[in-house]
Amino acid sequence: MPESVTTGRAPRARRFLVCEPRHFAVRYAINPWMHPDTRVDVDLAREQWRSLIQAYRAHGHAVDTVDPVPGLPDMVFAANSAVVVGGRVFGSLFHAPERRPESGHYDTWFKAAGYDVHRPESVCEGEGDLVWTGRYVLAGTGFRTTREAHREVQEFFGHPVVSLTLVDPYFYHLDTALFVLDDDNVCYYPEAFSPGSREVLARLYPDAVRATRDDALAFGLNSVSDGRHVFIAPQAEALAARLGEHGYLPVPVDLSELHKAGGGIKCCTQEIRS
Ligand code: ARG
């Protein structure tokens, strides 16, 4: 039996920033999941989103909210607005012109909360592509965030940035293909990465929990872990079972309505690391 099964895993309380999908819609297509003729049930989206917030609070996590703005249907995807490490905020510069105005609203929230916000010079989409592991930043590129932004992130935080190239348009953000389980391990779908990036991940995380394409298509990699509980899409049943075998406790939260825009649990969640 692997050690993780017998030892049990310790959760760490987090602080999250989220934005209610009050004005959620699929009006433009900037990833393969989005079809502007798709009907969206906003009430269902809000209800599903509220169940995520309840689940976070029930597990001891603090949740702050940014007010949603009419005309910005993707603003619910709070993860894309910044990456925050050690109380320092690296803001976003969205690839799609439709999403660019979101940044100003999030920056206003951060400033009111007492943070300075660094405005990036190159396209970069916050925690969508910039994943803090506890020791360094894993940084995705290929569809949205640029390599130039990776350099800027390293200069800003003074932490190593490991660039990883994404190759499958369905997994256009790093957080759709990989999530951090705890300070020592990650869970990811290898085929979403270029051969060299796959090798890098295999070297950094020889004991990673590997996911299948089906797990990834079910938004199973767009999960949030507190070190013990993994808030995960119920559609990713097989992956949840595998995480259970590794000693993690899956907490299923269904955000199916938000999947229509190509987003899931992690996309809706910005972590504020003080
Ligand atoms: N429709 C949004 C976009 O394509 C979805 C963003 C999902 N967010 C994420 N962190 N992966 O930009």
Question: Can you give the pTM of this predicted structure?
Answer: 0.96
Q: What is the pLDDT of residues 137-186, one digit of tens each?
A: 999 999 999 999 999 999 999 999 999 999 999 999 999 999 999 999 99
Give the residues surrounding ligand 1 with Cβ less than 6 Å away: 30-31, 34, 74, 77, 79-80, 99, 128, 173, 175-176, 261-263, 267
Cα distance between residue 230 and residue 208, in whole Å: 15
> Would you call 124 a catalytic residue per the annotation?
no
Residue 12 Cα, ligand 1 centroid: separation in angstroms? 26
| Residue nearest ligand 1's atom 9 by CA | 267
Given 3-state DSSP classes, what are the helix, strand and coil percentages for the chain, each rounded to the nearest 5? 35, 20, 45
> Would you call 187 a catalytic residue per the annotation?
no
Is residue 106 within 8 Å of residue 82, measured between CB atoms? yes
**What token pair was written down for 52?**
């995520």
Atom of ligand 1 nearest to the CA of 30: 4
Q: What structural domains does the chain harbor? A: 12-271 (3.75.10.10)
Q: Amino acid identity, residue 180? A: V
Q: What is the pLDDT of residues 50-98, one digit of tens each?
A: 999 999 999 999 999 999 999 999 999 999 999 999 999 999 999 999 9
